[in-house]
Chains A and B, each alone.
Chain A
Amino acid sequence: DTAVSQTPKYLVTQMGNDKSIKCEQNLGHDTMYWYKQDSKKFLKIMFSYNNKELIINETVPNRFSPKSPDKAHLNLHINSLELGDSAVYFCASSLNLLAKNIQYFGAGTRLSVL
């Protein structure tokens, strides 16, 4: 069983479209994260949620809207996609906020905006 699973693994879409990426963890963790990894491999935090509550929102355009229906899921919806949104998006989880430094990552979603 995959601990942190993201879907889809690949996403190719046109500029201006709206898309969603889903993330689920079966580790029983309280805290989940979204990261963006650019072409230079820099991994930047976007959001974190703890027990469905937003904890971190890092200067991300409001076209990006995370949603956590329960603590095992953290989905990312992106409106009006732009070329600069092309990147690999990683979901991660940690046991809780105290263990935030020990994170388990999904395999990533490779988003290409044409």
Chain B
Amino acid sequence: TQLLEQSPQFLSIQEGENLTVYCNSSSVFSSLQWYRQEPGEGPVLLVTVVTGGEVKKLKRLTFQFGDARKDSSLHITAAQPGDTGLYLCAGGGNTNAGKSTFGDGTTLTVKP
């Protein structure tokens, strides 16, 4: 079973601060996704990374896939209250019938 561990589990910061969330596994993934889930809603896909070492930027969010494709990080610069939510990483299965495995999530609260 492929497992994804996220850290920290909870993070509460002030508006304007920077933060990094980590997603780690002992397994290799063909791709890795980051989702954000707001209260009362379903997860929404933010980004997919597929190449080891790949870095993608989405405004103030920077996503990196580890060289060995076993881990990933999400860095947020100058966090805003609108960034508040549950951040989930998900690892893509390597076979056609393989499933995506979700991490245990990081709950981020950005206080104004």
Given contacts A45-B100, A56-B97, contact A100 B42 (CB under 8 A): no
Q: Mark A43-66, 1 if CB is under 8 A from B, else 0.
A: 111001000000110100000000
CA distance A104 to B43 in the complex (A): 8
**B98 within 8 Å of A (CB atoms):** yes
Q: Which residue of B lies closest to A108 (CB)?
A: B42
Q: Which residues of B contact A55 (CB under 8 A)?
A: 97
Contact of A42 among B45, B93, B102 (CB under 8 A): B102
Given contacts A48-B99, A55-B97, A101-B33, contact A4 B42 (CB under 8 A): yes
CA distance A56 to B43 in the complex (A): 20
Chain A at the B interface: SS class: loop
How many residues in A have their beta carbons less than 8 Å from beta carbons of B? 24
Q: Which residue of A lies closest to B43 (CB)?
A: A105
Q: Which residues of B contact A107 (CB under 8 A)?
A: 40-42
Docked-complex contact A101 and B48, CB < 8 angstroms: yes
Docked-complex contact B86 and A41, CB < 8 angstroms: yes
Q: Which residues of B contact A104 (CB under 8 A)?
A: 45
Given contacts A56-B99, A100-B99, A107-B42, contact A42 B104 (CB under 8 A): yes
In the complex, the number of residue pairs spanning A and B with C-beta atoms less than 8 Å apart equals: 60
CA distance A92 to B88 in the complex (A): 15
Docked-complex contact B104 and A102, CB < 8 angstroms: no
**B76 within 8 Å of A (CB atoms):** no
CA distance A39 to B78 in the complex (A): 30
Please name 18 further chain A to chain B contacts, defined as beta carbons within 8 Å, in addition to the given A43-B102, A45-B99, A101-B90, sorted by A numbering: A40-B104, A41-B104, A42-B105, A43-B88, A43-B105, A44-B102, A58-B99, A97-B96, A97-B97, A98-B96, A100-B100, A101-B33, A101-B93, A102-B45, A105-B42, A107-B40, A107-B41, A108-B41
Interface residues of A (CB under 8 A from B): 4, 40-45, 48, 55-56, 58, 90, 92, 97-98, 100-108
